[in-house]
Amino acid sequence: MEMINIKIDNKELKVAPGTTILDAAKSVGINIPTLCYLHLHDFNITNKPAGCRVCVVEVQGRRNLAPACATDCYEGMVVNTHNIRVLNSRKTVLELILSDHPTDCLVCSKSGSCELQSMAQDMGIRQIEYQGEQSHYKEDTSPAIIRDVDKCIMCRRCEMMCNEVQTVGVLSAVNRGFMSVVAPAFEMNLDHSVCTYCGQCVAVCPTGALTEVDHTNQVIRALADPSKTVIVQTAPAVRVALGEEFGMEPGTSVTGKMVSALKNLGFDFVFDTDFAADLTIMEEGTELLDRITRHLKGDTSVKLPILTSCCPGWVNFFEHQFPEMNDIPSTARSPQQMFGAIAKTYFAEKLGIKRENLVVVSIMPCLAKKYECQREEFSTNGNPDVDFAVSTRELAHLIKQANIDFNILPDQDFDRPMGESTGAAVIFGTTGGVIEAAARTAYEIFTGKTLEKVDFSQLRGMEWIREATVDFDGTPIRIGIAHGLGNARKLLQDIKDGKSQYHAIEIMAAREDV
């Protein structure tokens, strides 16, 4: 390929045609600041509306400054990324954004992880020169997501996530000029829209415009109430994410310390969701086997492939977008809800207390779980099976508020009997976990043998789905795994058109790299 010669900040380099100034600069160690720009490797989708203008650079011979994220390099291009003119413009742009942004950073839930805040820090903004009208918009609180549009900087990352990646189509830029906001159709609230609560918009929001609903105060109140027995379940992902909140290396497993911390917080019993994941896997495994067996016997009414039902974002998606296909997913509850149902029946009875006096808290890595536990079918006489779902971050806040020095906590074990699990559930949390575990279960029941290894591979041109074939004594059973709701839509369309090659598919609403 013909390469292009360019010069950035006096560094000479060669880049491929079509490379943006931003990417070219990055390749030689020059990090041009960005706000609205976002590249998703997994989906090969880039958000670059060139709306924020923070990434402006000077291109020799060009009258105005160029947005580095959306300007391609050309032969002989000479770029300056940090001369006085560029720095002044960048600062002005940032001050103008800040002039229409609330300054309640001290009490903003995004404080400390806000990209706008850290950029203002990096650029040394100490006062906002511009004063004028500020835009105000109604706040929208749903079961899982809070929209505080006053903090929106119109980067439109959420819009890209919702439309291009997840194909849910809830969010769009509406109105014009100073009045423009990102909102659902007719500016309805999220809980009236077809939002799935997949949380991907929250994951990419650079500011506090989209945040998760916080339940820490409700949990503290329940723990302080002497008439309540409070139990907690923790999802597999939490034990490897919690350490980071206390300065440990990302990915450090802190299971024992986490259990200790939860006991110190006053939870009466600390259980592992893996126990309930085992139940989900057994349910889905036998359901898969039942459908396959009936299918092999020539029963044409059997719906195949079976789709997993553990991810509430995904469940919401097919309910809204493919309501005619709601007999395809598994009927099994998710592990969170399996756990809640057992806790409020079997375990409450064992303790000899009423379900109303048992408070079930779950610590989950996903904000759609907040919505899931509020679904009407997961409650009895208005009392939910799971009372509160809190995130890893909220748990870290609880621990800090209780003055617990997490790093020196001794290791403790989960409580029994619901703290045990088989190996099948360990691989549950990552995409590929549940369907593999369910297929293994089905295989063992069907053949009476243990399945050695399941090899997943990717097909060329279909990189978004991983698949494996398991030999059920001569019958090849094909299982697939996909993540992201946009990919789920493709799979559902194939099933609708009768083109699906699979017997079982696992779907997770969230992307792996957010």
Q: Please give the residue ranges that form the binding site for other proteins (CB under 8 A).
A: 163, 169-176, 180, 183-187, 193
Q: Helix, strand or coil for residue 197?
A: coil
Task: Name which of 235, 252, 256, 271 is nearest 364 in CA terms.
Answer: 235
Nearest approach, Cβ of 168 to other proteins (angstroms)?
8
Nearest approach, Cβ of 184 to other proteins (angstroms)?
6
Q: Which residues pair with 8 in a beta bridge?
A: 11, 79
Q: What is the 3-state secondary structure (H, E, C) of 85-116?
A: HHHHHHHHHHHHHHHCCCCCHHHCCCCCCCHH
Q: Whose Cβ is closer to other proteins: residue 156's or residue 466's?
A: 156
Q: How far is it, in rounded angstroms, from Cα 477 to Cα 258?
A: 39
Q: How far is it, in rounded angstroms, from Cα 472 to Cα 474?
A: 6
Q: Whose Cβ is closer to other proteins: residue 25's or residue 162's?
A: 162
CB 9 within 8 A of CB 30: yes
Q: How far is it, in rounded angstroms, from Cα 88 to Cα 81?
A: 12
Q: Whose Cβ is closer to other proteins: residue 185's or residue 224's?
A: 185
**Phi, psi angles (nearest 5°) of residue 394:** -65, -40
Q: Whose Cβ is closer to other proteins: residue 194's or residue 203's?
A: 194
Nearest approach, Cβ of 167 to other proteins (angstroms)?
9
**Phi, psi angles (nearest 5°) of residue 320:** -80, -40
Q: Whose Cβ is closer to other proteins: residue 172's or residue 189's?
A: 172
Nearest approach, Cβ of 160 to other proteins (angstroms)?
13
Residue entry with tokens 């509406």: 174
Q: How far is it, in rounded angstroms, from Cα 344 to Cα 353?
A: 9
CB 36 within 8 A of CB 49: yes
Nearest approach, Cβ of 81 to other proteins (angstroms)?
33
Q: Whose Cβ is closer to other proteins: residue 176's or residue 460's?
A: 176
Give the dihedral sign, CA 216/218/224/228.
negative
Nearest approach, Cβ of 152 to other proteins (angstroms)?
14
Distance of CA 285 to the CA centre of its chain: 26
Nearest approach, Cβ of 149 to other proteins (angstroms)?
14
Q: Whose Cβ is closer to other proteins: residue 127's or residue 186's?
A: 186
Q: Whose Cβ is closer to other proteins: residue 175's or residue 380's?
A: 175
Q: Whose Cβ is closer to other proteins: residue 173's or residue 203's?
A: 173
CB 181 within 8 A of CB 159: no
- 156 Rama class: left (phi>0) / alpha (psi -120 to 50) / beta: left
In order of 101, 219, 287, 377, 379, the CA distances from 356 in angstroms are 43, 15, 32, 17, 11
Nearest approach, Cβ of 170 to other proteins (angstroms)?
6
